[in-house]
A and B are shown apart, each in its own frame.
Chain A
Amino acid sequence: EAGVAQSPRYKIIEKRQSVAFWCNPISGHATLYWYQQILGQGPKLLIQFQNNGVVDDSQLPKDRFSAERLKGVDSTLKIQPAKLEDSAVYLCASSLDGASNTEAFFGQGTRLTVV
């Protein structure tokens, strides 16, 4: 079974530039999560999708971050414009059904460095 795929693995941008991350969840998984993990901290949930609908985006900085999950499969997370404090690993995870407490599987993450 293929895992959660993310790209790119690494990205370096200057502040005020824009960047986009892509995630392809495990086939058949209805729930998709985007987490931000700053070095030395636990993952922080940015947004959670159930199929192509948003379940929770309360911690997404909507003035600069946006995410979509068209057709309920792949998802993209965008930052525009980026700030220095956005430097982190962005993890995508998926689970079979977020309402039935099934485990979440994580991708390798995208390490973003904003300079």
Chain B
Amino acid sequence: GIQVEQSPPDLILQEGANSTLRCNFSDSVNNLQWFHQNPWGQLINLFYIPSGTKQNGRLSATTVATERYSLLYISSSQTTDSGVYFCAVISSGSARQLTFGSGTQLTVLP
């Protein structure tokens, strides 16, 4: 099946700093989503972005489908941004389910 790799696995930032999270995938995809799992365990949808670029406030994402990677940018980070960020994909073809990466644990210090 498709492989999803996220980097870095851990990231510690000072409040106000910017960061870039990366997601590489091993095959073509029809769906790519970014999630934030907060400390209470909730999975919050950030972006649905199988290709192209989107922005939502301080967050933006870019997926280059032909090169099989996606980037999540967080600007002016806040302590509430802490948590785990997951990239998940559905491979092209008959797959229906999301395959998740192992996540990036982000800690934003005050």
Does B associate with A?
no
B binding-site residues for A, Cβ under 8 Å: none
